[in-house]
Structure 1
Amino acid sequence: MIVLHTAIAIVGVVLLILVTRVDPVIALVVGSLYLGLTGGLGFDGTIKAVAEGFGDIMAEVGLLIGFGVLLGSLLHAMGALQKLVELLMRGLGPRKIPHVLGVVLSTVFPSIYVDVQLVLAAPLARAAAPKMGRHGLAMMGGSLTAGILVGYVFVVPGLGTVAIAGLLDLPLGAMLGYGFVLGPITVVLTMLIYGWLLKRGFWNAAKDESAIEFPEPPEAEAPVRRLPPLPVSLLPIVVPLLLIATGAITEAAGVESSVLAFLGDPVFALFVGLLGSYLLARRTLGRDRVAESMSTGFNSTGQILLITGVGGSLGAVIGKTGLEDVLGGFFSAEAGVPVVVTILLAWLVAAVLHLAIGSISVAAITAAGILAPIMGGLDVPPAVLGLAIGSGALFALHVNSNFFWMFQTMLGVTTRGALKALTFVTALASVVSLVLVSALSFVV
C-alpha cells in the first residue's frame, strides 16, 4: 500500500501544480502531509518528518543557494555576461559564437538566474543572428537553450545542481568535476546535432520566426564609477570554483590538511566569491545600486529556499514510511536490475515530473527527494545518480513553463519556433546527456 500512497502523493503534487496552478511549495507540503498520514507516521510523526526534512536540507544547501543567488545578482549588476559575450563576438566571429557561447553560459554563469541569463543574452543573440545566415536565429536560440539550462542542472553553482547534490548528500567537489566535463560536452554535441538538422530543413524562417521588431534597449544608468574589466569581473565566480576544485582534488589524493579543507569547503568558497563581488560592486557601482542588487537577490532566495526545503521534507517523509525497502529491492543489483536500467529509471522519473510540472528545479528536487531514501541500496555511484536526475529534469521544457514564453518573446520566434529551438533542444540535450551519464557509470 505504501507504493500506492506514494504514487498518489506524487501524482497529486503534479496535478496541484499543473491543473489547479497551486504554488509548488504548497503542493509539495500537501503531498508530504498526505503521504505521512497514510503511510502510518501519525500526526506527530508526519509533522516532525516534514520539519526535520526541511531543516536537514537547509543545513546542507541553504547557505550555498543564498550565497549563489546573491553572487549572481551582483555579477548581473556589473555587466559581466554582456561584456564576455561581446568579447567572444569580436574575437571569434558570428559563425563560431553559438557553440562557444553555449559552453561559456553552461560553465561560467550558472550562478546567475536562468531568467536573468536569458534577458541579458537574448538581445545579443538577436544582434548576432543576421550575420550567421538563414539559420542564425535558430542557432542562437539553441545556443542559449543548451548553455543556460545544461549549466543549471550539471554545473556548480547552478541551483539545480546544488539542490540535487544537497538532497542526495553528494560532495559538491565531485559534482563540480563531473559537471565541468559533462556539461560542455553535452552542449557541444547537442549543438552539432541540432545544427545538422537545421541544414536539412528542420527550421522554416517563414513559420518559425516572428515579424516583431524589437526597440533599441534603453541606455543603462551610468555607473557611479567605471565598471571593472572583464577578467576582474569574473574573479568572484572563478576563485570559488578553483577553491572547491582544489579541496576535492586534495581530498581525493588523501591529503589531510584542515586549512585546505577549510578553504575548499563550498560554503566558504562561495562566501569568498560573494564577498569579492560585493566589494567589487561597492567600489564600482556605488552603495545604492549594490543595495538594490542585493535586495533583488534576497527576494529571489526566499522562494528557492522554500521549494528546496519542502523537497527535502517530501524526501524525509518517504524515508520514514518504509518505501526504501520496497523500492530498494526493486532497483538493487541483487534484483537483477542493471546499472544502466537504474540510471534510465532515475532519468525517467525526473523527465516525467518535468513534463507534467513545467519546472526543471521542482522536477529535479522532487525526483531527488523520491530517490534519496533508497540511494544507499543502489549499485550506482551517487554522483552518477544525481547527474541522471539532472539529465531527466532537463527533458523537453515546453508550454507549461514561464521560461518558454519568455524565450519565445525575447528571441522573436513563433510558438512553433520555440518548440524547436527550446523544447526540442532541451529534449535533445537530455537524451545526449543520458547517454554520457550511462557511459560514465562504467568508468567511475
Structure 2
Amino acid sequence: MSILLSLIGGTEALPLTRVTLDDFKGFETSDLKDRFKTLFEDLKGKLPYQGTIRSRTGQVVTIDAGSRQGVRQDSEIFVVLISTVQRHPKFHFITSATREIMGRVRINKADESISFGQVIEEKTQNLIQPGFKVTVDPNPTYSEAGFDREGHFVGAMANQPDHALAFGENPHEWSATPRASFGRLNLLAGFSSANLSTSLTTDSASSSNPLSPSVLLEGEMWIDPQLQLNLNIFDIISKVPNGLSGSVPDPLNFQFQQLDLTLGYNFLADESDFFGAKFHVQFGFSQASVFVQDSVPSAHTSKTYSGLAMGLGGGFPIRISPRKILVLGAQFNYHLSPGMSESSGTYGPSSNQMSQFNFSGEYYWTEKILLRGILNFEQLSSSFSGGPASSASANFTSLLFGVGFLF
C-alpha cells in the first residue's frame, strides 16, 4: 500500500507540501494511525514557516504555534515575509522559498498549540500584523573549518572529498608576515623564596625571605630545527635576616645571580613540526653567585659556583582550539663537579653540588607572542673541611610569569 499526503492552500488551491510512503505493509489500524501521524508531522515540517500571527495588541502578539512546533518560553522567534517560492514543475508543491526577516518576537508563554509574545524588533513601526508568518528554525551553525596553527586542514574543509584537487598537496594559509624562524626572547618576573643556611663549628645561621623579587631573561637562537643556543640570566635581590645570634648588621643585603649558556639538541616527535612535542638535551656552562653583606661575627659569606651543566627537558602541546596552543614542559639541570670560590677564603676545601628543576606552561596568544609561567626549584650546597664552617647551602623556589616574543 502507498500513501500520499498533500497540504493544499492559497487562492489557487495549489499544493504547499507533499509526502509519500511506498510499500506500507502494516495491517493494524493502530499502525496506520501512527504512520499517518508521523507523515502529517513531516508534512508540516516541510512548510517554510511554523505558524502565523493571529492578533496584535500594542506590542503583544498571539501566535498559532506552540511547544509542538518547537516554540519555547523565553525564546526568540523570527517574523518573516515569504517573498518568492519555487514549485515542482509537474506536481507544483513548494520546493524552496525566500524568506525576509521582518522582526523578532520574544515568547512570554508557550502552550501546546498557541503562544503569546512581545515584539522586540521590527523593520518599521507596527509592520508586524495578523497574517505574518513566523519561523522557529534555529540559527544556522557550522562545523569549525579552516587551518590549524601549523597550516593543516581542520573541520569540514579537511573532509571535503575534493579537497586535494581544490587546494593541492600540503596547503597552507596565507599570512602577511612569516612565522618565527630565528628564535625567541622571554622576560619573566615574580617572587622567590630564598633560604640560606650555614653550619659553623660553634653555631649555625639560617636566613630566609619568602617574597624576594626576581627577574628571569631567557633567550633562544634556533640554528636549525634540531640545534639551538640558549642563554638564561636569573637575578634575585632582597634582604634576609642575619640568622646568627649576636651578629650585626641585621638584616643583610642579599643578591643571587645566575648565568647559563648552553647548546641544545631537539628530538622532535614530528620532524615537520618544530612547535610540536619534543624532547631535548643541553650541555654548556653555568655560573651562580650568592652575594651576602658582610657581618660580624660572620653569618654567611658570598660564594660563586661555576662548572659544566647538563640538562634534560621536553614540552608537550595541548591544542585548545585550532589556533590556540598550551605547551606544558619540564626541565632538569645538573652541574658536573662544580667549582666554588668563597669570599672569606677561610672555609677550606669544599665538595659542591648544583641542581635545578622547573615546570613551565606556555600559551601561544598569537604566532609571535606567548604568555609563559614557570615554577623553578634550585639548590646550591657545599661541604667544608678544616675551616670554621662544616656546610653551607642556598635554596630558591621561584614562581615567575611573563611574556615571550618569537622572531
Scaled by the length of structure 2, what TM-score is found?
Answer: 0.20
Higher share in strand? 2
Q: Give the TM-score, by structure 1 length.
A: 0.19
Q: Which one has more relative contact order, counting CA pairs under 8 Å at least 6 apart?
A: 1
- Which of structures 1 and 2 has the bigger CA Rg? 2
Larger helix percent: 1
